[in-house]
């Protein structure tokens, strides 16, 4: 299913992000890391699109290697 989604910037819902409350959100490598998913969705809220780089934060599929490093 869908973990979360965000709207591109704009009027109305623009920039809003929504998270599936039925998911088991964590702050580690178990289940779904909230920080990782939130950072990805914030990227969409700021206007970023998906990346084809499998190691990129904006890669469209959820992959979590155990650390969240943003720079």
Active centre residues (catalytic): 41
Long-range contacts, 61-64 (Cβ 8 Å, 24+): 62/3, 62/32, 62/36, 62/37, 64/29, 64/32, 64/33, 64/36
What whole-number distance in Å separates Cα of residue 14 and Cα of residue 43?
13
């Amino acid at each position: 299913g869908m973990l979360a989604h965000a709207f591109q910037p704009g009027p109305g819902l623009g920039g809003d992000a929504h998270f599936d409350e039925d998911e088991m959100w964590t702050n580690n490598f178990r289940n779904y890391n909230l920080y990782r998913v939130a950072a990805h969705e914030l990227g969409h809220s700021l206007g970023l699109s998906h990346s084809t780089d499998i190691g990129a934060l904006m890669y469209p599929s959820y992959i979590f290697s155990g650390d969240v490093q943003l720079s």
